[in-house]
Structure 1
């Protein structure tokens, strides 16, 4: 597999690539989990699979998107469904391999690289593990630079790249091919129903596209952004620095954006529905936090649908989708996910501007506040917090 991988890189004329070892994948996973805005599933699931791939002597290589040929076939291996079910039903690599193999048969072309669908706790790492299994490179991109609950919520769709065909599999050998052409919302609806029929979780190969489309429509170098963010947190732990401040420095260095430390508090109330039929597999609800230290006497409320969506502090809106809300442990920088949070958890809320490719008019239509049922118009997080 490794020989084939390096032969491919040589054929493409790629000399600059990054070998992803255990330390690297651990750092990328942590950074992606922070950017996952409370969602993305249990990062340990994808991380352990990537470790297994490396332990078997397989090689994982990440390459720059601008170096790939225009005519290659790439796709995203991912999981779709209820995060809590994913924790109870972790995958075997055969299931995702089955999805990729069936996508190749349907497309009548071999997969030549993988791309993460999002910066998510599990979905980022799955693309690396699958790349190692199949002997192909993973490309330094994704479709969000965060996590979002629905399949069509990507920069790819805003540029006219479609999720179809999507192949969905379960651990019993069932395979569903979803091809709704350019109706990406329909693809999401069907994929969601299939996941529920499978028992709450499915394993998919989705967003087949060309190398040219990858370059035109992706969040470029998003994996490097996550990697540097993870490195910053591990560096803070090793040197006893403030992990939140190190995160903000990293985001300024890699994206030239100013992240905002908006609140510090503890969870005092949770309203949550775990991924059942009535919620279509989503974890839905609201969390209330009571302020600590400089924020004592203040209240933060956050709605979520798998991921954190909207933040209000003392009743005033401070962040709207697609901008990012992350709650992290103030001592370790570890992200607090919507599926594991508990009463009494303490966290610092960080707000991060969404990537510019997610803030286009089409993006705001597809995954802005109105799509999620909020009556507010989208206002960039920088403006919402300018006078605070």
Structure 2
């Protein structure tokens, strides 16, 4: 059955075909929203472009059009981003994981659910959907990237990460079924990734169409697409890309975003995903202010993704709110796995989506989960209070 036969079966006539330009724009926008993490976007982009070049159709559908009883799942990689860059996958790892999860569940998985707005993890959903001839839903589990499997709006709103299947490119496979224990699912998946050499490929979060609509970040792919398109147009027309991102977030999400710093990286303390950090790339950077921010110092902690921002010792952003560092000329995000001493950019703060700010959500990806003693305060409130 082709993807169009699936759409006809569900009575869906409103859909978008993802071509080369679209996937390049989605990849760029998702990378900006990825808060410095999510892995190398070039890997997922090339993977998806290869699928399109083979003549496979990739179709994006609206969440409200998915039948309530249809079952889908997310795909992606888990582990240290720097390992992913050095150890690209074979072409069939995610297809293998997706099909094995379907077999284990005894359910026909008929749709792909993007896991996050992350460099590689956002884009590979499109490649697998094209290979399997099924649609992609315009949602994800966070509208940013987070380091751990269970840190999603789905868990924050009552669904579960398992059953899940983890594979590597040598044919090793781990089936994870921890029922309602999402943290244990993360721990097992993390240990599997370490055993595989630092990175694994997974299919997880089997969800019904109804759960997708009630618990996902809706239209997250469209948000990423619009941001990527805005930055591409800014480059072509010599406009300020960061200003365009702020405008587009206001249009698509109705939120204010805040440019709070411009400077260069002057110190990096980083562990590249070793045993001591359970496969995460973790540490802290320090940036020295430039221009209107001269004589100010910014410090950002990270665990695969940027987590907490302090400027001159005062906290300006805590998880789950988004911190992104952007090149001033191109709007290209500076990721945690590629940053170097001397890189220059502006820090942009973006409010997390409301489904990420639930009480349960703050338990699993708020400040205390990452060891901070500070209580969560929305970034828009902090910025207003500090007059930035």
Q: Per the shorter chain, which TM-score range?
A: over 0.9
2:139 to 121, 138, 141: 141
CA distance in 1, matches of 2:32, 2:5: 35
Looking at structure 2, the residues matched to 382 and 83 of structure 1 have their Cα atoms a distance apart, in angstroms, of: 29
Alpha-carbon RMSD across the aligned residues, in angstroms, is 0.6
Q: C-alpha displacement at 1:361, in angstroms? A: 1.1
User: Is this contact kept in 1: 2:157–2:355, CA < 8 A?
Assistant: no
Partner residue of 1:247?
Answer: 245
Alignment correspondent of 1:345 = 343
Give the counterpart of 2:375 among 374, 377, 381: 377
Give the drift of 1:93: 2.1
What is the number of residues matched between the two proteins?
386
- Look up the match of 2:353: 355
* Aligned 1:1-388 pairs, distance under 5 A: 4-386=2-384, 387-388=387-388
SS in 1 for 2:325: strand
Instruction: Measure, in 1, the Cα distance between the counterparts of 2:165 and 2:12.
Output: 30
SS at match of 2:26: helix
Q: Distance in 1 between matches of 2:374 and 2:146?
A: 19
Q: Secondary structure of 1:40's match?
A: coil
| Partner Cα distance (1:160, 1:370) in 2 | 20
Offset, 1:242:
0.2
Shift of 1:299: 0.4
Gaps of at least 5 residues in structure 2 are none
Report the CA distance between 1:41 and its aligned residue.
0.2
1:136-193 C-alpha deviation (Å, 9 max, x unpaired): 0000000000000000100000111101101000111111100000000000000000
For residues 211 and 359 of structure 2, the distance between their equivalents in structure 1, rounded to whole angstroms, comes to 20
TM-score of the superposed pair, with normalisation by structure 1: 0.99
Moved more, 47-56 or 105-114: 105-114
* Whole-Å separation in 1 of the counterparts to 2:147 and 2:91: 23
Shift of 1:360: 1.0
Q: Distance in 1 between the 2:128 and 2:103 partners?
A: 17
* Distance in structure 2 (CA, Å) of the matches to 1:283 and 1:158: 24
Q: Aligned partners of 1:91, 1:111: CA distance in 2, in Å?
A: 23
Q: State the alpha-carbon separation in 2 of the partners of residues 160 and 275 from structure 1.
A: 30
Scaled by the length of structure 2, the TM-score of the pair is 0.99
Q: C-alpha separation between the residues in 2 aligned to 1:57 and 1:124? A: 21
| Cα distance between partner residues in 1 of 2:103 and 2:376 | 42
| Runs of 4 or more consecutive aligned structure 1 residues displaced over 3 Å after TM superposition | none
Cα deviation, 1:274-310, whole Å, max 9, x if unaligned, reads: 0011110000000000001110110000000000000
